[in-house]
Amino acid sequence: MKYPIAIEPGNEKNAWGVIVPDLPGCFSAADSGLDEAIEKAKEAIELWIEMALDGDQEIPKPSSLKELQKQKEYKGWVWAIVEVDPALLSDDIERINITLPKRVLARLDAKAKKAGENRSAFIAHLALTA
């Protein structure tokens, strides 16, 4: 998925500001220039999506860059496109193999049982809350 971002150019005194028009409240900033601004915007988008999914919110589709560029509020801003890994939006189940020492696996299974979860659910829960 590719989201357009609006970047307000910075200078020696002001950071580069970034807004993601399609994701309400999603913004970022960077001190060292355009490349950092784009990278920080990608991080902000990924965090916004993660929080929205955790809150059972729908993820808005990206708008047309051409339509966004027509908006007067972004006059003089630089535009870029940030690509987001589609796996961030997927709840598809995927089987994986992991390798752990037996002592770690035993501890993991005991904690999963105590939490009333199976191994996979417990690992997923840990990953989502870490």
Q: What are phi and psi of 118, to 5 degrees?
A: -85, 175
Q: What is the pTM of this model?
A: 0.73
Among residues of the chain, what percentage have pLDDT more than 70? 100
Higher pLDDT, 4 or 93: 4
Model confidence over 37-88: pLDDT tens digits? Answer: 999 999 999 999 989 988 889 999 999 999 999 999 988 899 999 999 888 7
Domain locations in the chain as residue ranges? 2-89, 93-130
Among residues of the chain, what percentage have pLDDT more than 90? 70
Average pLDDT over residues 17-44: 94
Average pLDDT over residues 109-118: 94
Q: Is 30 helix (H, G, I), strand (E, B) or coil?
A: strand
Least confident of 24-38, 83-97, 100-114: 83-97
Q: Put the strands of the sheet holding 2-8 in their side by side order.
A: 27-30, 16-19, 2-8, 78-83
Tell me what pLDDT residue 6 has: 96
- For residue 124, give Cα distances in angstroms to 49, 103, 110, 112, 119: 17, 20, 16, 11, 9
CATH class of residue range 2-89: alpha beta
Confidence category of residue 108, pLDDT binned at 50, 70, 90: very high
